[in-house]
Each structure stands twice: as structure tokens, then as C-alpha cells.
Amino acid sequence: MAIFRGLFCTDTHYSGKRPDCRTDEDFMTTQKNKTQEIFKIAKDNKCNIILHGGDFFDSPDISDNVAGEFGAMYLTAGIPVYVIAGNHDLRGNNYPTINQTKLGLIARLGAVKLIDKQHPIVFRMKDGKRIKITASPSDFGIDTCADEFISKKKSDDDFLIHVAHGMLLKKSPQHKTTYVPLSDIQDKTDADITFVGHYHLGFETTEANGKYFVNPGAVIRRYAFFEEMERVPEVSVFSIDTETGEISVKNVPLSCAAEGSEAISRERLEKEIEYSQKIEDFKNSIIKDTATISDNIENIINEAAEASFLEDDVRKEINARIADAKAVIDSQIFMEE
Ligand SMILES: [Mn+2]
């Protein structure tokens, strides 16, 4: 019996700065606890590898402290970790910048291994079967390029896994963003399992003609949307029986993850919504009030008075002064002639 096992997780966005909506007293500890649990799930499930779908760090310039802390954790994970770069890991979402980033740095120091288009990895099982893992890291234009989510088997590839960081989604009118619909690639790819990161909410694992399409969602919730608050962060555990060809994929929730309502506060988001509503109301009030006002100064005064901005005697005084000013202006024009 020869079974290849792995764990897929994505979008950890490791950072020293707690996202505005989160309530953690110590965000570094939250991130470390999640990472330790991921390593434990991988060990408990006898995984041969951990695959990371990108946005490992929140920025290509993440602090040396954060890069050091998580680099050291992954170095001692006890299981080889393969990572593809996400848009947050790169400069300008440009893959050739990888060696100038903190993810590139910790990879060169051996904490993780990078997979990219030029460097797929191949595992040879005891029964002689080959399992290949290909990758499409984030790069400019990936969210509209179906080919980035398609991988083709070569004649000696018995099993193929493809990992990508980009907007692959099930077709839905609710998505207002640019994306590649799953239906555009599912019959074209040869990959037995396609893992994607980038869309933090993830989607339900889909099986089509024996091929699996998987996005368990971001490991760490960073936004105060209701969908994000209601979601339990998950990772995917998968296995390929190279003898029978049987493939299994299941999502495992992280037990250390706090309830959404505990980990995330909507207070700031609600304040922002309230604030932008006030600005909107103010804008509308200007448009509404000015719509009926003419460009004649006396009319503006009279209309403002009617809208009870002005006391009647104030209105009379203003009109009297405008009449005086006009008389002066008129006499000046007359004198110049
Ligand atoms: Mn991300």
C-alpha cells in the first residue's frame, strides 16, 4: 500500500500588526497557536508534506522579527513545507521580485521550500508511481487568466496536484470581483487536485469527473464582514492512494480559533459605515437644498429665509446692504463710461 498524504493551508498573512477589526490581546500568540495546530494536524494525519497556498506574510517587507519568529517555527516543523507566493508576498504582484522579499529570504535559509512555474516538485512513491506538484504563484493578471489554474499531465505523471494563488471561484452573481469561474477550467485541467488561495472566504470543495477543487479559506480572519465572522478557519487534509487511485480531501477546522464574535469586532467597521453614511447624507442635503436655489443673490437670501435659516429682520438687513452695494457698483460702472 502506498499512500501520499498532505495538508493544504493558505493566507496566513503573518504580521506583527493586529488587523484593526481583531480583538486579540496578543496577535503574535494567536498566529503562533494556529501554526502549531496546523503542524499538529499534519502530524496526526501522517502528512508527508504541508502545502501553503500563498500570502504567507502580509507584506514582502514584513519586519525581521516576524520573519524570524515564523521562519524559525517552520524550520522546526518536522514536515517539509512547500509554499507558493501570494500577492502580499511580492512587490507589485510581480513574481520576479521573490528574491527581494522576506518569503524569498526564509526560503533561501531553508525554513520553507518555494514552488513556482519553473520549479514543480515530484515525489516518487515506493510502488514507482510519480506524484507531481505544479504551481502558479501570484503574478500580474492571474485573476483573469484561466490558464494559470490549468495544469497538464506529462506521460510519466501518474498523479498531478496544482496549487495557485488567484481568484478562482464558483460562478455566482454575488461576486462583483474579477475572477476565473471554476466551470472554465474544470474540464481542461489534468490536475487530480487543484488547491487555491487568495479568496479568504474559501469555497466548498467541488468534485468534477474525479477531480477536486479546494479552497479552505484563510487561516486567519482579518475582516469584519459577517461571512468572515461566521466562518471557522480550516485547513485541508488530503491523501492519494497510488495503488487504487483513490483520492480523498477533507477540511479540518482549527480548534484553537475563537468564535468569530469573540475574535472580531464590528465596532470600527460600523463606525466607518456610520461615518460614510453621514457624509453621504450631507452631500445629499447640499444637492437637495441647492437644487431649488437660483443664482440670483436676492433669491438665494429669500429662499434661505424661507428654509428658516434666517430671521426676517436679518433678511431685510441683508437685502438692504446688497441694494447699497449694488448702487455703488452701478455708479462705478456709470462713472467709467
Ligand atoms: Mn490573502
Domain of 143, CATH number, reads: 3.60.21.10
Last residue of a domain, one of 242, 264, 286: 264
Residue finishing a domain among 219, 245, 264: 264
Q: For residue 334, how far is its CA from the centre of ligand 1 (angstroms)? A: 71
Query: Does 223 share its domain with 315?
Result: no
Give yes or no: residues 230 and 283 share one domain. Answer: no
Ligand 1 centroid distance, CA of 88 (Å): 7
Is the pLDDT at 290 greater than 70, yes or no?
Answer: no
Domain that holds residue 95: 3-264
Mean pLDDT of 230-250: 96
- Tell me the pLDDT of the chain averaged across its residues: 91
Based on the structure, what is the number of domains in the chain? Answer: 2
For 40, 229, 234, 255, 320, the CA distances from 265, given in Å and listed in that order, are: 29, 9, 20, 20, 57
Which of 264, 292, 327 is the endpoint of a domain?
A: 264
Verify that 302 and 154 share a domain, yes or no: no
Same domain, 285 and 246: no
Cα(16) to ligand 1 centroid in Å equals 16
Q: Do residue 85 and residue 163 come from a single domain?
A: yes
What's the pLDDT tens digit per position in 25-66? 999 999 999 999 999 999 999 999 999 999 999 999 999 999
Across the beta sheet with 130-136, what order do the strands follow? Answer: 121-124, 130-136, 159-165, 193-197, 211-215, 203-208
Residue 169, phi then psi, degrees to nearest 5: -135, 155
Q: 322 and 221, same structural domain?
A: no
Based on the fold, state whether residues 304 and 252 are members of the same structural domain.
no
Same domain for 291 and 194, yes or no, is no
C-alpha 202 to ligand 1 mean position (Å): 11
Q: Determine the distance separating the centroid of ligand 1 and the alpha carbon of 56, expressed in angstroms.
A: 8
- Which tens digits make up the pLDDT trace of 149-197? 999 999 999 999 999 999 999 988 888 889 999 999 999 999 999 999 9
